Amino acid sequence: MTPPTHPLQDGNFDPLAMLRRARGDGSDVRSIKLRMLWLRQRIPEARVTTTLVTLDERVVVMAAAITLPDGGEGAGHAANRVTDDDDLAELIERTELRAIGRALDILGYVVIGQEGPSAAPDRPDPAPVVREPTPLARERPQPDPEWEDAPPGQSSPPGHVQAIRALREREGRGKPEESASEPVRDGQRDRQQPANRPATSTPRITPRQEKRPASSDPETERGEPKLEDVSWTAFWEWARATYQLTSRVQLEEMLGQSIGQKSPGEVRSLLLTHNSGSESDDS
């Protein structure tokens, strides 16, 4: 008889899917345990170490550290007040679990709360409804009621109002002879237009005239942070590929300072600033 396998081994259990369906910020006991299973499923060799920092009649303080095989590390602390009604063993265990949750936050195993339709389970999109296009009736330009009755002393509307009226008349007037003839190029159209054409207050911008600002980073253009700025695992993959850094010791030696409890994005910004300064000094 084949011995039963653990759900994490056969791939039938997905803690991340359960976390996405859960509500909250991931700090409750169930969510922290699911996040721990998420870490074990991705990196089974991760090592978790907890330490009792303080225990007295007033407070319990626990520390937790998670070390990854590639050199990534996350640490966190948690504290709880001691009351007469508390079970001390249960209080220590609850504090230890909170400290592990803080360490998981540092490593990037976080849960971002979702509200509204995005938090609902995925459903197949309904089939698109195909509708026949309805011909639009051509509307005749209507006079501007604001200038229907000109005030005394002003016989005609201002120039910009006249230009808008002329533009509406040109759009509403059908030109069948132009559709049957050969299309006119842009340069020829400019030469054929009369010189006394009224200038409009807001010139049209064709799609060829529209220019979008160049963006060096598509993630920044969408307003979304890069994965290596929020996840220590992704950060170390980026640091190894970019600067051949494999441990925290090498990273701090290159920066010349301790990274302490900085986030992946802060450490990555320090690395980019440090190396850009080194390149400018070499040049």
DSSP state letter for 242? H
Domain range enclosing 67: 7-113
Residue with tokens 């169930």: 30
In a domain, 70, yes or no: yes
> Percentage of residues in the chain with pLDDT exceeding 70?
55
- pLDDT tens for each residue of 226-283: 888 888 898 899 999 998 898 889 888 888 888 888 898 999 999 899 888 765 555 5
Both tokens of 236, joined, read 């170390």
In a domain, 132, yes or no: no
| Helices 264-282 and 232-243: angle between axes, nearest 10 degrees | 20
Asked which of 87, 113, 139 is the last residue of a domain, the reply is 113
Q: Above 70 in pLDDT, residue 204?
A: no
Question: What pLDDT sits at residue 78?
Answer: 93
- Alpha helix positions (H), 12-122: 15-21, 29-42, 88-107
How far is residue 13 CA from its own chain's centroid?
Answer: 27
Mean pLDDT, rounded, of the chain: 72
In a domain, 157, yes or no: no
Asked which of 80, 113, 146 is the last residue of a domain, the reply is 113
In a domain, 106, yes or no: yes
Which range has highest mean pLDDT (40-49, 59-68, 251-260)? 59-68
Q: Above 50 in pLDDT, residue 207?
A: no
Domain count across the chain: 2
Nearest-angstrom CA–CA distance, 166 and 199 = 10
In a domain, 239, yes or no: yes
In a domain, 91, yes or no: yes
Asked which of 53, 79, 113 is the last residue of a domain, the reply is 113
Put simply, whether the predicted model's pTM sits higher than 0.75 gets the answer no
In a domain, 35, yes or no: yes
